[in-house]
Amino acid sequence: MTTYSAVVTTGIYCRPGCGAKPLAKNNRTFELAAAAEAAGFRACLRCRPYRVAGPIGSDAPELVCRAWQLIIDGVLDHGTEAALAERVGLSPRHLRRLFVKHLGASPDQLARSRRAHFARRLLDDTDLTALDIAFASGFGSLRQFNRIMREVFRASPTELRARRRRADRLVADGGLALRLPVLPGYDWDAVRTFLAVRATPGVEAIEGDTYRRTVTVDGAPGVLEISPHGEGNLLLRAHLPYWEGLIHVVDQVGRLLGIDTDHSAGIAALSADPLLGPLVRKRPGLVVPGVWSPYELGVRALLDHAPGGAARWMAAIVTGLGTPVAGLPGGLTHTFPALEAMTLAALTALGLPEADATAIAELGPIGYGTDVDDQVGFRLGRREAFPAADPSLGAALADLGLHPSDAGQWRPWSALAAVHLMAHGDSLPLTRT
């Protein structure tokens, strides 16, 4: 886990490896940059801690993780802590107490820090105007943006942009390029392979070391590309119709790639397991990927055992009911259909068996607060979810002489155990269709 060091005498906090050498007695440590800021410290100008990954630990309580996912979805952009607390079934006071105890900052403080850090990265990486950055980062106005940036960084956006270094500015051949900080050891190859096996035809594609997918943002199509970008970062190229709310797009990408949670505690625990240890030690940087669209995941889960295989029917659904997008690279052809397009009549017209078509037609919206089974919850961040019905997981268990009931011994890291088993299952012949 990233640990930030704050110096009481200077009021500055730093990321690991910073050249500053304060006396140990003057140091305080924080697991999140937002916690250091909530305690009154400001970011170091030399090491720029806002540029490194700072995901919450996977050992935080499940309710805190769920509330954090809702913050990522923008619940606090225009809502209150009381509304967030109601979404997770807690009182506002108790929710604040849990956040301060486990994360070192309140929900509002975390949301503010998240917006400010994202805006600071845009000031470094792009040439977007201050107004565009304000709305791309989830601020309600330019005035609020200027005020929060001064509070967090002790400087105006204009002053902060003047401090950016020559190597910071990214130039993309079309679209907007942004760095995505990842924790040391993050295994992009393993995550990309996992996503490739489960890619939705026409919507997702992997070419070389680059992952691409189509998206729909407020009804308009876009394309996202993710590729490696030196140590400690991935590179996102976003081709979108506009930049307002970009922070939520980038956060969804982070969730898809599994970079918004620190799995180090689970890796340490499972590495010592006599059954899973060899698999975990083989891919210690493999994380549990999330999803871009929970609804798309729900459809895929319902089709995993449909006649002919999920990939075949997902392709038919995308081609028959999705929105065509012309001129895209790597086999991308459509955006995934909206829920409203997935009617029983439309699905059966594609030839889908009536039972499967009915199940999909009756599938409602799925969010991070929705009560779902392990098959879906596994990729929605439920760390004890164990998707035993997944074909790759079943193949791995059979190959290793294990049974789904064995998952109990891997709690509370069942989801992390599952992703390593699934990666093993993916490598076996004829696992998926």
What letter does residue 54 receive in the DSSP assignment?
Answer: -
Cβ–Cβ under 8 Å, residues 67 and 41: no
Residues 6 or more apart in contact with residue 352 via CB below 8 angstroms: 306, 313, 316, 317, 360
Considering 14, 44, 47, 65, which one is annotated as catalytic? Answer: 14
Q: Say which DSSP state 147 is in.
A: H
Number of Cβ within 10 Å of residue 377's Cβ equals 22
C-alpha to C-alpha distance for 61 and 307, rounded to whole angstroms:
39
Distant-in-sequence, close-in-space partners of 299: CB < 8 Å, separation ≥ 6: 314, 317, 342, 360, 363
Q: Which residues contact 21 (CB under 8 A, 6 or more apart)?
A: none
Helix axes 414-426, 391-400, angle to 10 degrees: 90
DSSP assignment string, 215-229? EEETTEEEEEEEEE-
Cβ(237)–Cβ(250) under 8 Å?
Answer: no
User: Does 260 participate in catalysis according to the annotation?
Assistant: no
Q: What distance in Å separates the CA atoms of residue 97 and residue 369, rounded to the nearest whole number?
A: 20
**Residue 146 structure tokens:** 């200027």
For residues 107 and 97, is the Cβ–Cβ distance under 8 A? no
Catalytic, 390? Answer: yes
Q: CA end-to-end span of the chain, whole Å?
A: 37
Q: Are 261 and 56 in contact (CB under 8 A)?
A: yes
CA separation for the pair 189, 66 (Å, rounded):
28
- Return the closest-CA partner of residue 40 out of 1, 7, 77, 68: 7
CA distance 5 to 333: 47
Contact 421, 395 (CB under 8 A): no
Q: Name the catalytic one among 125, 356, 374, 390.
A: 390
199: left (phi over 0), alpha (psi -120 to 50) or beta: beta
As annotated, the active-site residues are: 14, 390
